[in-house]
Chains A and B, each alone.
Chain A
Amino acid sequence: MADFEYQDPEPELSENQKKEIAKWFLLNSPAGEIQYVAKDLRSVLMDEKVYNMAVSEAFPLYNKSYMICLEMPDRSGDVLVTSFGELDENEYLDPRTAQVATVDHVKQVCTEVRHAIDEELPSAYIEEFRCALDAEIIKYVGEAYPKGVCSVYCINGKDVEEPGSDFELAVVISASKHSPQNFCNGSWRSVWIIEFKDDQQVVEVRGTMQVGAHYFEEGNVQLDANHECRDSTILQSPEDCAISITNIILHHETEYMTSLEASYSNLPDTTFKELRRKLPVTRTLFPWHNSLQISLTRDITKELGIGK
């Protein structure tokens, strides 16, 4: 990612080096904070040309990596900016409405929409599977995520017309919450790659879940968690596939959420204790008033070789 190294500040940095540094800051912005980072960076750089180069390169990557959600101007819903839906750098497919949204990456808005042309959409056969899964996932996301957005893409074999060939769908779930006034931002992203294998009549499911949270009131604390898992089910009708795949996703995401909670509840008495105990091993506050004596006793035990 970052291909710059700190060098003696003597030789003036080239424009390219400055741009790479600026990009590094932008790409490493926490969820929902790239605009703030860009603003600060602009005043640090004091070079509009470098700034503009950096933002134009970094924003598209950041938007896709966080799978940001933008409102489409014709009130037809939201479009997710993901690499799965990317037709070209500024055009993203929304498979649900069969529309293509034009995106202004730096402003993080959707400027216009058009109908997708046939070549951009999957065949009717694939669409049956995609659409059935989308419907189930919408139901699930609606219940599990108060602010979740989801999309189902065909990422391989979109022109398959009938049984007999393999194809792949991708389920994307993205939920984020930004409350800068409470100094807190967070995002949940999960991507499920669904391989429909015709010859073995199985559906293989691979998932990656990524969770991040940032709290920065008088400090800077960040959570970074991710998990990968696999599962499979049998190839059935589009409707039955949709139900069993959604159940697999629900099962793994619920399990992961439980393990996240467990990680948090283990903190005070196990994991955090590895760094520093709440109380000393003696379970009483440190006897500072006796400290000289303690240190003498320690010296003696050390000298006599009776210590640890």
Chain B
Amino acid sequence: MEAAMGLMRRIHPKQTETALSALLSLLPDHSSDLLSQVDQPLQVLCDVECGKEFILCEYNRDADSYRSPWSNKYHPPLEDGPHPSPELRKLEIEANDVFTIYRDQYYEGGISSVYMWEDDNEGFVACFLIKKDGSKSGHGRRGYLQEGAWDAIHVIQVGAEEEGTAHYCLTSTVMLSLTTSDESSGTFNLSGSIRRQMNMDLSVAEGHLCNMGRMIEEMESKLRNSLDQVYFGKTKEMVCTLRPPPEGVQLRLPEI
């Protein structure tokens, strides 16, 4: 299992799906471990009843069906798929509404879905998902990207309320890929995935949604920032080590 995760750390992020199915076929006995530890690009289905798209993940799946956060129904229909309690469903509806606006403001497009379910410790778990296609042909506002995908998965475990506070444990993964391509500079692609965790004890005076929202917003900004500054920066540094930028060389040789 450790070796399998080692392979996933090296294989190109764009090939995650192929690599995962390859590992699943080599290690059928570890399939549940692999599926829970390897994040895959998010898939989308259309809720025909509401005419809205929703995101699929392990948390809204039962057998081969997925529950839509909009109609609360399974697609394809499933007789006795689990649903959150009426109280939690109310929070789930609200979270979906608010998260739609949040997503619009930061992503200028894309799809989002929020799922919640009760856990065994009197608390609950919420999963916030965002999928954005930022390519020219997708939701890219400015048309810079030949291809551009951002998938964010935020899973928050909310502990039971004690004396007005609750414990929140957030695990977030961002997977992204962006490609620009043109005649004069060729094809340029950056892809990657990172995962981070954040723990907080917060007063529930303003409600769980407020707390979860703020944590996710902070986490997303941190992840975006470290991808931009650290991860992309390190690859740039590497390129400049291989072939240091022009200046010095250009001085010596005349242009053609």
Residues on A lying within 8 angstroms of B by beta carbon are: 2, 4, 6-7, 9, 13, 17-18, 21, 24-25, 28-30, 33, 36-37, 39-45, 143-148, 175-177, 184-188, 209, 211, 213-216, 218-228, 244, 247-248, 250-251, 253-254, 256-264, 266-268, 270-282, 285-286, 288-289, 291-292, 294-295, 298-299
How long is the Cα–Cα vector from A266 to B232 in the complex, in angstroms? 12
How long is the Cα–Cα vector from A227 to B6 in the complex, in angstroms? 31
Q: Which of B140, B224, B234, B246 has the most CB of A within 10 A?
A: B234
Stretch at the interface among B8-16, B60-68, B161-169: B8-16
Majority SS at the chain B contact face = helix
Q: How far is the CB of B105 from chain A (nearest CB, A)?
A: 3
Q: Which residue of B lies closest to A297 (CB)?
A: B101
Residues on B lying within 8 angstroms of A by beta carbon are: 2-4, 6-13, 15, 18-19, 21-28, 31, 94, 97-98, 101-102, 104-108, 132, 134-135, 140-142, 144-145, 148-150, 176, 178, 180, 184-196, 206, 209-210, 213-214, 217, 220-221, 224-225, 227-228, 231-232, 234-239, 241-246, 248-250, 252-253, 255-256
How long is the Cα–Cα vector from A39 to B7 in the complex, in angstroms? 9
Known contacts A186-B241, A213-B239, A257-B245: A9-B7 contact under CB 8 Å = no
Q: Which residue of B lies closest to A25 (CB)?
A: B7
Q: Which of A261, A275, A294 has the most CB of B within 10 A?
A: A275
Q: How far is the CB of B235 from chain A (nearest CB, A)?
A: 4
How long is the Cα–Cα vector from A251 to B19 in the complex, in angstroms? 39
Q: Are B13 and A220 in contact (CB under 8 A)?
A: yes
Which chain B residues lie closer than 8 Å to A291 at the CB level?
A: 98, 101, 209-210, 213
Q: Are A257 and B189 in contact (CB under 8 A)?
A: no
Q: Are A292 and B188 in contact (CB under 8 A)?
A: no
How long is the Cα–Cα vector from A222 to B190 in the complex, in angstroms? 6
Q: How far is the CB of B12 from chain A (nearest CB, A)?
A: 5
The one of A39, A41, A216, A247 in contact with B256, judged by C-beta atoms closer than 8 angstroms, is: A247
Q: Are A254 and B246 in contact (CB under 8 A)?
A: yes
